[in-house]
């Protein structure tokens, strides 16, 4: 409702506005960046002193530190701890304008990006729109298995988890109480592993003393993975370690377990039905529809094929990067959808645009492997860095340090550090909020 | 939707559960406390070692520190900073059970509280359900003028304010841009004064450098008060000071300005229409319907008349307190709806129940005046404490210290202090989030 009103009024305004922008357009090259994620923001920042006019478009007003989203979903952190206003991140950068709008298409012939209510011409385009949840051809599962890609999804999962314990506390039927206290995670990648560990710790440690009728330690957390092992992108030894660590926390790990159905009653997997109102989707993602807009070939995750300069075929003025690009590594294998990849690619795209402005020759993109890590719980993590493998406490401290370091903004870092310290020392977590029903409907905005 | 499903399933479960609870009921006196606000929580805590069985019922899972709600609405603090899980606050208190449910009535004849899906018998009842927004007989204004009584309302106001600047930035029409940047607050009590100061500072200091097309310093903040002066419950000299301080911040203060109409286009007051999509309601409140449920006389704000022992007439087993009671002070005047009043009354109710259990005689409630304060902006506040009056920096520091001191939980205090320090030093505020549209609908819970 609100969003519709907002989008609609934005739309109307923008159709009018377009003329103004074009009328006053300067002659400097126009760089349009799509997405204020890790890639887009890095690209913008690299161009901060460049003689170009940058417009960064995102449907949100904030940059989101996605790797910690699961901590919002499991009530350790607040949304604002892992989000930073895009405008603030770029407020000192005078060549850059931010527009909050939903992108709807790209007209590659006329070099124009279309967004809800307007369009803008580009000389260079950086497409870094990331990915969204994918339900393997079963979009109807979405309403029963919330994914974890933005802050609303995270707070929705938080509400569901906390409410389930409230319901269980009032539930006289033993069977139903157990169902209420069962949580299924579909997908054993880093997000699934981190969520499973965090829900388990929330139940056994954080809220253990809060209830009178139920024993939160009877909480069941089931992690289902279709493939043969957890953390498929990690070395096998670390997958095994993660599984062992999770089992120590009481998580039921089911590998080779393909989900056949998700509905209001729960999940059917390997022929078995598990009754459970709390199913969360941590499995596949699909790229933003950049390939569709550009009319270019994509891989099966919807990622645009790009060359070693991050250009889609025949478009040296376009860079596609991060989760929405299939970019080759040195062996020709596609690079994984990780934050460090997107950040390095964003920085590279910025540098390439600078080089092109100076007619310097292009150097191919090379990913500098920053390793791969996942946290499992208190003092438990796995880290793969080149040939190195860390586990246990040392891996966990590494994970903490790296995530804090890359978290945008000093303020957020400090706050997150404090909340982690608090959670660690006191087994308390800070954001256990079930938000009230909206009692005041938003006023419809007068159109135009 | 979600809430309906939740309430419905709670209801069904509870009807079944009721029998179980009663079957296993112990013989200790039952104390039922309605509301986990300042009064209810204090009452529960005072009875922590008493030989009674306490059930605390609230529709929310958290205690809310209402005096700082305006800081969530103006993007300085996050919801979790001013909320604390009720279960955590009482987790060590073994004689107390918490139920999250909406109260629907009181059967005073059978000494029974009815809530959505169940009921519970009491020997002693403490009703401390606070107040809600009142629109002076114009409930239709609610959809155009969000109030500020819970966290959802606060985040809704935050979204509206931040979105308005986004819309203004893209708005080519000068007139419409100015409207987008106009904010009207209806009601010049402490909340209105604090909101006006905070919106003004947000615009002129925090986000001033974030935009390219608009100048946030052109923001108009209009504070309308029907009465002759702001802060009617304060000494006159402080009202004057608050008005002067607000004007220095650029706020347009209009006293004696009765609002005649609120609609989608804005406000009509004193015959003048002001076009503005951002109208916030900081005027009257009405008490929770405790009086209606009890069938007892109420004052014009809906507050139950109670005697100097906080009992409604003829009910020595019932205490009504805080915003939903009209309790006399020493001169027979009703005590104001302030947090310190509710806290002292809650504590008193707990002590009175202890006294009754020991057959000790009752002492009347005496309010120890902790003073009255409101903050206006950076380094500006007004404080009335007995015959003392503070203004300016000293009052502001007093305000900070008092609010921090009473904020529940060490963790929240520390986090809030840090965020205030950050906001003060850097002119940055931390929670400038426009949350994404929900893309994943919540799954309907299987009924029963």
pLDDT tens string B186-221: 999 999 999 999 999 999 888 888 999 999 989 999
Looking at residue A385, what DSSP letter applies? E
Q: Which of B2, B159, B210 is facing A91, going by the closest CB pair?
A: B210
Q: Is the pLDDT of residue B291 over 70?
A: yes
Which residues of chain A neighbour B151 with C-beta distances below 8 Å? 433, 435-436
How close does chain A come to B387, measured CA to CA in Å?
40
How close does chain B come to A126, measured CA to CA in Å?
21
Chain A interface mutation, best of B77, B78, B425, highest count of A Cβ atoms under 10 Å: B78
* pLDDT (0 to 100) of residue A321: 97
Q: Is the pLDDT of residue B155 over 70?
A: yes
- In chain B, % of residues over pLDDT 70: 90
Q: Which of B173, B213, B436 is facing A151, going by the closest CB pair?
A: B436
Contact A16 B172 (CB under 8 A): yes
* pLDDT (0 to 100) of residue A22: 42
Which residues of chain B neighbour A147 with C-beta distances below 8 Å? 440
Contact B80 A431 (CB under 8 A): yes
Q: Which of B118, B439, B446 is facing A265, going by the closest CB pair?
A: B446
* pLDDT (0 to 100) of residue B414: 78
* pLDDT (0 to 100) of residue B244: 96
Which residues of chain A neighbour B430 with C-beta distances below 8 Å? 80, 411-412, 415
Q: Which residues, at least 6 apart from B426, have a Cβ–Cβ distance to it below 8 Å?
A: A411
Contact B17 A170 (CB under 8 A): yes
Mean pLDDT, chain B, as a whole number? 88
**Sign of the alpha-carbon torsion through A96, A101, A103, A107:** negative
Contact B170 A17 (CB under 8 A): yes
Pull the structure tokens for residue B62: 């958290």
What is the rounded distance in angstroms from the CA atom of residue A151 to the CA atom of residue A162?
Answer: 16
Three-state SS at B436: coil
Per-residue pLDDT tens, chain A, 448 aa: give them: 333 443 444 344 444 334 344 444 447 999 999 999 999 999 999 999 999 999 999 999 999 999 999 999 999 888 988 999 999 899 889 999 999 999 999 999 999 999 987 899 999 999 999 999 999 899 999 999 999 999 999 999 999 999 999 999 988 899 999 999 999 999 999 999 999 999 999 998 888 889 999 999 899 999 999 999 999 999 999 999 999 999 999 999 999 999 999 999 999 999 999 999 999 999 989 999 999 999 999 999 999 999 999 999 999 999 999 999 999 999 999 999 999 999 999 999 999 999 999 999 999 999 998 888 999 988 899 999 888 898 999 898 888 888 888 887 767 777 777 777 777 776 666 678 777 655 433 433 433 3
Q: What is the pLDDT of residues B265-290, one digit of tens each?
A: 999 999 999 999 999 999 989 999 99
Q: Is the pLDDT of residue B132 over 60?
A: yes
Q: Which of A167, A433, A446 is facing B264, going by the closest CB pair?
A: A446
What is the rounded distance in angstroms from the CA atom of residue A351 to the CA atom of residue A42?
Answer: 10
What is the rounded distance in angstroms from the CA atom of residue A31 to the CA atom of residue A318?
Answer: 10
CA dihedral A18, A23, A29, A34 (to 10 degrees): -10
Contact B166 A61 (CB under 8 A): yes
Classify each residue of A299-334 as buried b or exposed e, where b means 16 or more C-beta atoms within 10 Å of its C-beta.
Answer: eebbbbbbeeebbbeebeebbbbbbbbbbbeeeeee
Q: Which residue of A has its CA nearest to B146?
A: A440
* pLDDT (0 to 100) of residue A377: 85
CA dihedral B307, B308, B311, B316 (to 10 degrees): -110
Label residue B400 by pLDDT band (50, 70, 90).
confident
Which residues of chain A neighbour B273 with C-beta distances below 8 Å? none
Contact A146 B442 (CB under 8 A): yes
Q: Which of A13, A61, A210 is facing B172, going by the closest CB pair?
A: A13
Q: What is the pLDDT of residues B96-124, one digit of tens each?
A: 999 999 999 999 999 999 998 789 999 99
Pull the structure tokens for residue B437: 């549209």
Contact B430 A411 (CB under 8 A): yes
Q: Which residues, at least 6 apart from B130, have a Cβ–Cβ distance to it below 8 Å?
A: B35, B37, B287, B288, B322, B323, B324, B342
Chain A interface mutation, best of B81, B83, B434, highest count of A Cβ atoms under 10 Å: B434
What's chain A's Rg over C-alpha atoms? 23
Q: What is the pLDDT of residues B42-64, one digit of tens each?
A: 999 999 999 999 999 999 999 99
Pull the structure tokens for residue B298: 């109420």
Q: What is the mean pLDDT of residues B172-198?
A: 95
Looking at residue A445, what DSSP letter applies? P
Q: What is the pLDDT of residues B18-27, one digit of tens each?
A: 334 444 444 7
Residue among B75, B58, B89 nearest B407 (CA) = B89
Q: Which of B91, B156, B445 is facing A440, going by the closest CB pair?
A: B156
Residue of higher predicted confidence among A79 and B433: A79
* pLDDT (0 to 100) of residue B427: 64
Spot the catalytic one: A194, A201, A225, A243. Answer: A194
Q: Which of B78, B143, B430 is facing A443, going by the closest CB pair?
A: B143
Chain A interface mutation, best of B261, B274, B432, highest count of A Cβ atoms under 10 Å: B432
Q: Which residue of B has its CA nearest to A214?
A: B97
What is the rounded distance in angstroms from the CA atom of residue B383 to the CA atom of residue B43?
Answer: 27
How close does chain B come to A381, measured CA to CA in Å?
26
How close does chain B come to A87, measured CA to CA in Å?
5
- How many alpha carbons fall within 13 Å on the CB side of residue A40? 29
What is the rounded distance in angstroms from the CA atom of residue A173 to the CA atom of residue A167?
Answer: 11
Cβ distance A253 to A245 under 8 Å?
Answer: no
Q: Is the pLDDT of residue B30 over 80?
A: yes
Q: Which residue do the tokens 């191919």 mark?
A: A364
Which residues of chain B neighbour A91 with C-beta distances below 8 Å? 209-210
Residues of B tagged active-site: 194
How close does chain A come to B266, measured CA to CA in Å?
10
Q: Is the pLDDT of residue B441 over 60?
A: no
What is the rounded distance in angstroms from the CA atom of residue A343 to the CA atom of residue B80?
Answer: 30
Contacts A–B by Cβ distance under 8 A:
239
* pLDDT (0 to 100) of residue A24: 44
Which residues of chain B neighbour A99 with C-beta distances below 8 Å? 169-170
Label residue B4 by pLDDT band (50, 70, 90).
very low
What's chain B's Rg over C-alpha atoms? 23
Q: Is the ipTM of this complex over 0.85?
A: no
Q: Which residue of B has its CA nearest to A18?
A: B172
Which residues of chain A neighbour B420 with C-beta distances below 8 Å? none
Q: Is the pLDDT of residue B89 over 50?
A: yes
Residue among B104, B213, B235, B129 nearest B166 (CA) = B213
Which residues of chain A neighbour B17 with C-beta distances below 8 Å? 170-172
Q: What is the mean pLDDT of residues B150-178?
A: 93
Which residues of chain A neighbour B209 with C-beta distances below 8 Å? 91-92
* pLDDT (0 to 100) of residue B208: 85
* pLDDT (0 to 100) of residue A412: 75
- Per the annotation, the verdict on A194 as an active-site residue is yes
Contact A210 B155 (CB under 8 A): no
Cβ distance B382 to B376 under 8 Å?
Answer: yes
Pull the structure tokens for residue B19: 């029998």
């Amino acid at each position: 409702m609100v969003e519709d009103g907002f989008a609609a009024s934005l739309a109307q305004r923008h159709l009018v506005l377009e003329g103004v922008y074009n009328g006053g357009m300067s002659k400097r090259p126009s760089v349009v960046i799509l997405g204020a994620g890790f890639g887009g923001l890095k690209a913008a920042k690299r161009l901060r002193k460049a003689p170009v006019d940058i417009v960064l478009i995102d449907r949100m007003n904030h940059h989101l530190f996605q790797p910690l989203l699961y901590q919002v979903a499991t009530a350790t952190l607040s949304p604002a701890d892992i989000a930073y206003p895009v405008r603030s991140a770029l407020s000192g950068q005078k060549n850059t304008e931010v527009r909050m709008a939903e992108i709807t298409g790209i007209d590659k012939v006329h070099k124009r990006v279309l967004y809800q209510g307007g369009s803008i011409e580009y000389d260079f385009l950086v497409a870094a729109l990331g990915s969204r949840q994918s339900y393997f051809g079963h979009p109807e599962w979405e309403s029963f298995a919330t994914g974890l890609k933005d802050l609303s999804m995270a707070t929705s999962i938080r509400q569901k988890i906390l409410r389930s314990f409230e319901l269980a506390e009032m539930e006289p039927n033993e069977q139903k109480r157990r169902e209420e206290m069962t949580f299924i995670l579909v997908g054993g990648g880093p997000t699934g592993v981190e969520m499973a560990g965090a829900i388990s710790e929330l139940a056994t440690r954080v809220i253990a003393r809060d209830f009178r009728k139920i024993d939160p330690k009877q909480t069941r957390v089931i992690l289902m993975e279709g493939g043969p092992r957890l953390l498929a992108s990690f070395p096998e030894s670390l997958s095994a370690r993660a599984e062992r660590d999770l089992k120590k926390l009481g998580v039921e790990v089911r590998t080779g377990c393909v989900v056949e159905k998700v509905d209001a009653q729960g999940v059917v997997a390997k022929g078995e039905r598990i009754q459970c109102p709390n199913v969360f989707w941590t499995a596949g993602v699909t790229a933003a529809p950049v390939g569709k807009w550009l009319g270019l070939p994509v891989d099966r995750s919807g990622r645009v094929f790009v060359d070693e300069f991050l250009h889609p075929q025949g478009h040296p003025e376009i860079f596609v990067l991060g989760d929405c690009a299939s970019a080759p590594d040195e062996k020709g294998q596609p690079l994984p959808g990780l934050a460090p990849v997107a950040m390095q690619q964003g920085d590279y795209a910025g540098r390439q645009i600078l080089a092109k402005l100076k007619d310097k020759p292009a150097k191919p993109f090379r990913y500098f492997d920053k390793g791969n890590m996942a946290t499992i719980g208190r003092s438990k993590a796995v880290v793969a860095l080149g040939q190195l493998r860390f586990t246990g406490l040392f891996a966990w401290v590494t994970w903490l340090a790296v995530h804090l370091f890359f978290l945008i903004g000093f303020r957020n870092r400090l706050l997150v550090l404090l909340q982690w310290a608090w959670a660690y020392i006191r087994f308390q977590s800070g954001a256990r909020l079930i938000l009230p029903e909206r009692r005041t409907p938003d006023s419809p905005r007068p159109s135009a």
